[in-house]
Structure 1
Amino acid sequence: MLELVEVGRTYDDGHPVHALRHVSLRLEPGEYVTITGPSGAGKSTLLNVLGLLDVPSSGSYLINGMETGRLSEGMRGAVRGQLFGFVFQAFHLLAGRTAVENVEIGMLYGPHGRRRRRELALAMIEQVGLGHRAHADPRTLSGGEKQRVAIARAVAPRPQVLFCDEPTGNLDNENSAALLALLRELNGSGLTIVMVTHDPHVAQEGGRRLCVSDGTVSEQ
């Protein structure tokens, strides 16, 4: 489904910084992959390349056999919006919009009209266990509830892959456990999950575990 072939990513910060070096990796549909490694090792860069948020400096990235290096920025955005969902450590919810309205925002550029978007958003809010908070302002939600809304927003458009960058980083142990249970449920329904984490206990969630060190990737 997703395949990196000898991918490198180099930044020019006055001198070359090799964030990724000769990474070859294949991810299959339905996998639950966790990515660990020290700070600055290249974990988030790997996630950004896989999610089409960044482009390789060398090598090839193929999605379902399609070479992404040939895509225009507009086409990359269209593929990203159609196939991928994203959840970050920061919740990025809009204050002044209810929880369900925040979920609807994830579907604004999809094929559904306003009424159908609301129906789907309410169903997704129910699925993440927040039906009773659907019309709450995000400023009144706990950290765990905010992250559940963020996941609902990412998953509502029915992506094939959910990318998570330190999704438990702002949560206490109880909320982290609840969030991980939700991700397991989503993965069990067929959603591919790729998650960056610094927490070795969270990393154990993955059926497949990768370690990034000095820009290289190894299996664990």
Structure 2
Amino acid sequence: MTDPVLSLTGVSRTYNDGHPVMALRPTDLGLAQGDHVTISGPSGAGKSTLLNILGLLDAPTEGSYRINGVETRTLGEATRGAVRGQIFGFVFQAFHLLAGRSALENVELGMLYGPHSPRRRRQLARTALERMRLGHRAHADPRQLSGGEKQRVAVARAIACEPRVLFCDEPTGNLDSENTAGVLDLLDELHRDGLTVVVVTHDHEIAARGRRRLRVVDGVVSAW
């Protein structure tokens, strides 16, 4: 697949839990390969809704979302999952690592349903951990890792399958200032090497690191 261009046209998202709530108001937005975008705003403003739509984790209620000109709203769930696994990686605030499995095995699990053989998964996982400066911790149980190391394992898991876009939702929310700086520096490095990086954050200092900055307030997306 060629490098993706992500395009939202009039995209909105409404949830209905007894009464309709518009979490994301009609939005036009384009993201190109090589972007480094931060999305900031208060809690509940619609930041994660926007990220989930971009990452094909959720579907818009109205509007068009195209990847390389292909309309995603008409794709079946299996195809959406295949596209998501092929070009997107995800890092969340919670590490989602399995205790009792080594760091290496946790990274491999992210590729379990992909096209790679077990041998290739092991190779990609080792490469990703080395990239995160964690080759020496490959056989450590997550319970033996610091918070910063856990998040770096989570980033390794996200990049092991060599995605073209990395979505990060509050990736430093559980980290102290030192580990936050280390993880953000690694994300900057990944971007310099050509990966498109999109970071959702409520922290203005983290948001300021983006080359392109968006703000979401009451479901309205604007540049700042």
Same fold (TM over 0.5): yes
Question: Relative to structure 2, which stretch is displaced further, 119-128 or 167-176?
Answer: 119-128
Q: Offset at 1:15?
A: 1.1
Aligned to 1:73: 77
Q: Distance in 2 between matches of 1:87 and 1:93?
A: 12
Aligned to 1:195: 199
Alignment partner of 1:216 is 2:214: no
Q: Offset at 1:39?
A: 1.1
Q: Distance in 2 between matches of 1:194 and 1:81?
A: 16
Aligned to 1:12: 16
Of 184, 189, 214, which residue of structure 2 is paired with 1:180? 184
Q: Distance in 2 between matches of 1:190 and 1:110?
A: 22
Partner letter of residue 81 of structure 1?
G
Query: What secondary structure, in the 3-state scheme, does the structure 2 residue paired with 1:69 have?
Result: coil
Query: Could you list the per-position Cα deviations for residues 101-137 of structure 1 after superposition, in whole angstroms to 9, with x for gaps in the alignment?
Result: 1111122222321122112211111110111111000
Q: Distance in 2 between matches of 1:146 and 1:218?
A: 33
Q: TM-score, normalised by structure 2?
A: 0.97
Aligned to 1:29: 33
Query: Could you list the per-position Cα deviations for residues 80-117 of structure 1 after superposition, in whole angstroms to 9, with x for gaps in the alignment?
Result: 11111100000000111100111111222223211221
Aligned to 1:111: 115
Q: Distance in 2 between matches of 1:205 and 1:157?
A: 25
Q: Distance in 2 between matches of 1:111 and 1:11?
A: 35
Q: Distance in 2 between matches of 1:212 and 1:178?
A: 26
Give the count of matched residue pairs.
Answer: 220
Alignment partner of 1:166 is 2:166: no
Alignment partner of 1:39 is 2:43: yes
Partner letter of residue 48 of structure 1?
N
Q: Cα RMSD over matched residues?
A: 0.7
Query: What secondary structure, in the 3-state scheme, does the structure 2 residue paired with 1:218 have?
Result: strand
Q: Distance in 2 between matches of 1:89 and 1:169?
A: 6
Query: Could you list the per-position Cα deviations for residues 30-65 of structure 1 after superposition, in whole angstroms to 9, with x for gaps in the alignment?
Result: 111000011111000000000000000000000111
Partner letter of residue 205 of structure 2?
H
- Structure 2 unpaired stretches of 5+: none
Of 99, 102, 105, which residue of structure 2 is paired with 1:101? 105
Alignment partner of 1:153 is 2:162: no
Partner letter of residue 111 of structure 1?
P
Of 55, 63, 70, which residue of structure 2 is paired with 1:51? 55
Query: Could you list the per-position Cα deviations for residues 185-208 of structure 1 after superposition, in whole angstroms to 9, with x for gaps in the alignment?
Result: 100111001110011111111100
Alignment partner of 1:143 is 2:139: no
Which 4+ stretches in 1 moved above 6 angstroms? none
